[in-house]
Structures are given as C-alpha cells and as structure tokens.
Structure 1
Amino acid sequence: MIIAQQKPVQDIAAMIADCQKVAFIGCAGCVAVCLAGGEKETEILASALRIMRRLQGNPLQTVTYLATRQCDPEYVAALDEVVKDVDAIVSLACGVGVQYLAERFDKWVVPALDTKFIGGSVVHGRWEEKCGLCGDCVLHKTGGICPIIRCSKSILNGPCGGSQYGKCEVSKDVDCAWQLIYDRMKKLGKLDKLLAIEPFKDWSKSRDGGPRRATREDVIIE
C-alpha cells in the first residue's frame, strides 16, 4: 500500500492562491486507507481552505469528488464534467494520481499529499515501510523479511558491525533486520540457506533507465 501524508494547509493554499474555483479530488485507494486522501479528508481540506480564504477576503469556490482510483485512466475520465470549469485541481492522491490528472486535463494540478513509501499497517493510525521497490525480490531467501528496506544499509549478506543486541546502530528503536532474518530462519529450520553468498545487488532493476513498466500481454486492450 502506498503511504502518504497531507501537506500543511498553508502550503496547499499557496499553490492555489490565484485561483477562484478549485476541484479537490480524493482517491478511494491507498491514501483513503492511510487516512490521507479519502472522502473525509477531501471534504475537510476543501472546507478548511474555504474558511481560510473567506477570512482573507478572497472567497474560494470548491468542488469535491472521490475517485475510485486516480491511477487508472478509466476512473480519471469520469472527472471530465467535474473539472471542466475550475481554475485548478488539487489531487489528494499519491504522485501517480497527480500525474494522471495533469496528463488528462489542461488545468493547474497540484499535490495535496506527500507520497512517503510502500508499507502496511502496524496498528490503527501507524504504518511502516516494508518494500523498497527494488525490482528483484529476495524474500524467499530471507524468511519473508526484506533486507533492502528494513536494513538501514540494505546489506544482503548478514549484519554489519554496528548491530548490537538485535538493534541497529542507527537507533535503539530500530530492530536489526538481519537479527530478525536469523531468528526467523532458525525458527523455520532453514539457517543453512543463509550460508549462500548473495551477489552484488542489481540496482538497474530498481530505477536506472527511466520509468519502469510492467506489461501483461494477455490482458492488454488497445
């Protein structure tokens, strides 16, 4: 799940300072789950900016809409009528959603959120990063614990010298990923698998060479 957080209201207000009518577009996907860009957050943000602008003597008209997803063209197309007469669009989605709106509409499109990371829920209201989007998953070798993102140094072959008592040298509040991996593999009776030396990480699968693409030829409809 993509985790995002809302920008300060003052920052968003500055992005649309010269606009009189603005569409606030939420997303019912990941950002709704992490309480950053769902229907409630969209309505609250629009309301807060209307109040701010009214107090400044510069009234703001707002339109709100919750898209099923902003990262699919079919759902973005449904916004054609919603945004046709607005001066700007405020996207409460991840950076992908912002770009999809900007590609479709000849409008000033701005982000209301900061996209943080890929992660999951720990407890209600708290999320942790779990995946580094490296493009070459090794979780089958490490007991389902990712050394790329959960190790502060992304080490592939065991802990560094800074690991002490199961904690990372970065902070005593951060578990050493390789201690977690060792404990997990020991519990599963698979410690022998950690004896294999992993080669250098092929980071070209992560980011080099421009935007990455994934294609399913069997479902493409041109």
Structure 2
Amino acid sequence: MIVAERKPLSEIKSFIENYKKILIVGCGTCATVCLAGGESEVKVVASGMRIGFLKEDREVEILEDCITRQCEPEFVTPLVERVKNEGVEAVLSLGCGVGVNFLADKLESVPVFPGVNTEFFGAAIEPGVWVEMCAGCGNCILHLTGGICPIARCSKSILNGPCGGSQDGKCEISPDVDCGWNLIVERMKKMGTLHRLEEIVPPRDWSTSRHGGPRRVVHEELVTQPEAEATG
C-alpha cells in the first residue's frame, strides 16, 4: 500500500488561507488504512482549520468529503462536479500524491493542495507501524532474494550483498534499522536456497525505473479506441 503521513496543520493552513470556500477530500483506501487521510482525518483537519480561522475572526467555509479512491475517474468525476456546482475555490487532498495529481488534472483551474506527505510503498508490521518494503522500480527481483527487496530495504540499495558497515544484523546508519541483506540471507537459509546467491547476475537494467520519465502501463484490450479506428 502507499503509506502517507499528514502534514502539520500550520503548513496546511498556509496553503489555503487565501480562499473563502475550501473542500477537504479524503481517500477511502491507502490513506485511510495508514490513518493519514480517511474520513476521520478529514474531520480532524477540517476542525483544525475552522478553529484556526475562527481565532483570526475570519469567515471561511470548510466542506468535507471522502471518496473511495482519488486515483480513478469513476470516483473522482462526481467530486469534480461538486466542486464546480458548489463554487469551491480550493481543494485540500488528504490522498497520496497520485490523488493530488489526478484531482489537479481533472479540476484544472481550481487549485489542489496536498494535505499529506506520501512516504513509501509499505506494510503494517504491527498496529500503528508501517515499514517500507517496495521501491516501485518496475523490474521485480524478489524471486532472487527470498521475497525481500534489496532496493527498498537496504539503505544503500546494494544488489550484490551486504556492505562492510553492517554489524550484528543491523545497518550502519542506525542500530534500529535492520540490514536488508542480513534479512535476505537469513530468509534464504530458512528456504534452503542460500546457494542461489552464488549465481552470477547480469548488471541491472534500470530503464524500467524513473530514468525514462513518467511510466505507463497499458492494457490494450481495455483501451477505448477512437470511433474512427473502431469502425475503420
């Protein structure tokens, strides 16, 4: 899942303080699960903004909403209509950066501000604690490393084994950070596949990562063809 963390209320207020009618929008999936931008968080942020503006003796209308996903047209389209019909001057998104981008593309002339910081792709290892586990590199090698990503979980993203700085299974940057390669080795020992680390692996192809600009995935069977082509 995409893990996010709410921005400080003071920073959020600085984004929207010049507007008189603001819609705060949560996201019902990732941002809800990581307690950063769901329905409850929308209410908290909205209350904080109302109190802040009230202290300044300013009349600012704060609207609230939370949609299933901010990254898909079927859920965003009704929100866009609401913004237009109700004369909303600015939108504060509590979804991830994808949601902010997507809403901004759809709304165009209405500013969309981020209410959270998008942190990483991760999972909950215990209640209230999320840890990064994937870097979204576009060329997954987890079949070679026991299901543990060296790009995301090694602090240096080393691909050919641990560096010389790890001690007792911990990374040199902090005793609280596990050495990603120690995790890989221990996992592969349990699986009986440690010998696979002796195999020669070709240099990594990074072209599937961010080096080619914004990435795209297309399922051609689902793409709506222009009518002229469809009938041609």
Find the partner of 1:184 among 187, 203, 226: 187
- Give, in whole Å, the separation in 2 of the partners of 1:11 and 1:132: 27
Q: Does 2:167 correspond to 1:160?
A: no
Partner Cα separation in structure 2 for residue 52 and residue 76 of structure 1 = 28
Which structure features the higher share of strand residues?
1
How big is the shift at 1:57? Answer: 0.9
Any idea what the Cα deviations from partners look like across 1:75-125, whole Å, max 9, x if unmatched? 110113421211111111111111111111120111111111110001111
Which residue type is aligned with residue 41 of structure 2? E
TM-score, normalisation: structure 2? 0.92
SS at match of 2:82: coil
Residue 82 of structure 2 corresponds to which residue in structure 1? 82
Gap regions ≥5 residues in structure 2: 226-232
Amino acid corresponding to residue 129 of structure 1 in structure 2? E
Find runs of 4+ consecutive structure 1 residues off by over 4 angstroms.
none
Alpha-carbon deviations, 1:53-94, whole Å to 9, x = none?
A: 011011210111111100011211011342121111111111
The amino acid across from 1:79 in the alignment is L
Letter in structure 2 aligned against 1:151: C
**What's the secondary structure of 2:69's corresponding residue?**
coil
Report matched runs for 1:34-183 at 5 Å.
Answer: 34-84=34-84, 85-105=87-107, 106-183=109-186
2:59 partner amino acid: P
| Offset of residue 16 of structure 1 | 1.0
What fraction of aligned residue pairs are identical, expressed as a percent?
Answer: 51
Query: Residues 25 and 66 of structure 1 are in contact (CA less than 8 Å); yes or no, is this contact kept in structure 2?
Result: yes
How far apart are residue 197 of structure 1 and its match?
2.3
TM normalised by structure 1 equals 0.96
Alpha-carbon separation, structure 2, partners of 1:178 and 1:101: 39
Aligned length: 222
Q: Does 1:204 align with 2:202?
A: no
- Say which SS state the counterpart of residue 159 (structure 2) adopts: coil
Mapped partners of 2:148, 2:186: distance in 1: 11
- Distance of 1:76 and 1:14 partners within structure 2: 25
Counterpart amino acid of residue 37 in structure 2: G
Give distance in 2, aligned partners of 1:110 and 1:92: 9
Q: Which has the higher helix share?
A: 2
Taking the aligned partners of 1:148 and 1:212, their CA distance within structure 2 comes to 18
Return the alpha-carbon distance in structure 1 between the equivalents of residues 48 and 178 of structure 2: 39
* 8 Å Cα contact 1:63-1:82 kept in structure 2: no
Secondary structure at 1:163's aligned position in 2? coil
> Aligned-pair distance for 1:200?
2.6
Alignment-mate amino acid for residue 149 of structure 2: C
Structure 2 Cα separation of the partners of residues 91 and 202 of structure 1 = 35
Q: CA deviation at 1:171?
A: 1.4
Match of 1:49, SS? helix
What is the CA–CA distance in structure 2 between the aligned matches of 1:206 and 1:80, rounded to whole Å? 32
The amino acid across from 1:209 in the alignment is G
> Do 1:23 and 1:82's aligned partners in 2 also have CA atoms closer than 8 Å?
no
Q: In the alignment, is the contact (CA less than 8 A) between 1:157 and 1:197 conserved in 2?
A: no
Structure 2 CA distance for aligned equivalents of residues 164 and 130 of structure 1? 21
Structure 1 residues 21-30 or 182-191, which shifts more?
Answer: 182-191
Query: Contact between 1:21 and 1:62, CA under 8 Å: does it hold in 2?
Result: yes
